[in-house]
Structure formats: structure tokens, C-alpha cells
Amino acid sequence: LIVGSGRSSAEANLFLTRALGIGSAPAFDVRTTTSAGFEASDLEGRQVVILNDTPAPSGRAGQALAEFVQGGGGLLVVAGERSAWPTDGPDLLPGTVGSPVDRTGRGGAIGFVDYSHPVFEVFAAPRSGDVTTARFFRYRPVEPGPSAAVLARFDDGNPALSERRVGAGTVLLWASSIDVFWN
């Protein structure tokens, strides 16, 4: 389930939908909704939720998301321009997220990757791609919490991807966007 901010995130959601749609082993059943339209019933039959540059749900929907993760669901939080985590939101994030940082000029890059983690192991073999060549012009600094694991860092040392186990589920926090504006 991809949860976006609505019309302004249509391009990023389209990219995600198409990128996930080409997978065949396993195939993905991708559904999208907006943060304003997100309801607990949207989680039925889902294994992973992507909050794509959007405020996190609060209230009843936020509690349903927390129960989903604690019960074994996966959550990817993409911390772009429009993302926000309400103070009354569920305690799921692997760290505290700061205000956007600009990397002027050539931008920054990924300086460290934990290739032993399942998220990155596909890139561990020779000629399988190099995630460190991507350029990042904006990101959000993250102060990892005590139960967080940092899976990738930007070249200035700030976490790029952090992970936290919550109950039987996993939360990943990506500290940039996944569009062509920040990277």
C-alpha cells in the first residue's frame, strides 16, 4: 500500500507503482491511497505500507498502522518535503527526523552501505549496480534511537536508511525522497 499526499505526490507514486509493478518474483499487488483518505481497512491484505513523502496518520488510522506493524507488517517511511510525524502519532520511527538539509553543488552521495542486510544484498555481487553513485541534493538528518540500526549513511555521516523492529514488524526510514527533486 502506497500512501501519498495526494495530487502533488502523483508523480512519485506513479514511479513507485511502476517500479514495483515490473517485479514478477515475487509479484506485487500495489494499491495507492492518500494520507487524507487512509483508513484502517486499507491495511487488509497488505504486507507493506509505504508512507511516501506524506504526513503519518494519527488518531484511529495511526493506531491501526501501529497494530499492523506490531503484528508483523512492514513500514517504509520516505521522509521527503511533505513528510511529518505527529507528536501524538504511534511510536514507530527508528529515530528523530530533523528539518531538510541542502547539499549544494554536486550534492552528496551514499558513503556507507550494509551489504549484508537483505535490503542491499542484491547489490553485493559484482556488476549488480552501485547505490553509492546516486546524488542527493536534500535529505533530512536523523538521530537514531537506541533500538535503531543504520543500514546506509550519506557521505557526511548522517543516516540515509535506518531500521527498527517493532513487535513482529519492521520500520525502515529513508531520509530523502524517492523522486527526481531531492536526488
Give me the mean pLDDT over the 71-86 stretch. Answer: 93
63's grid cell: 493506531
Q: Residue 160 CA to chain centroid, in angstroms?
A: 10
pTM: 0.92
* Residue matched to cell numbers 499487488: 29
Give me the mean pLDDT over the 71-90 stretch. Answer: 90
Query: How many other CB atoms sit within 10 Å of the CB of residue 119?
Result: 17
Torsion angles phi and psi, residue 14, rounded to 5 = -65, -45
Give me the mean pLDDT over the 88-116 stretch. Answer: 91
Contact 54, 85 (CB under 8 A): no
Residue 3 per-residue DSSP state: E
Q: Is the pLDDT of residue 28 over 80?
A: yes
**Burial (Cβ within 10 Å: 0-12, 13-18, ≥19) of residue 96:** exposed
Q: For 133-175, write each residue's pLDDT tens digit.
A: 999 999 999 999 999 999 999 999 999 999 999 999 999 999 9
Q: Over the chain, what is the mean pLDDT?
A: 90
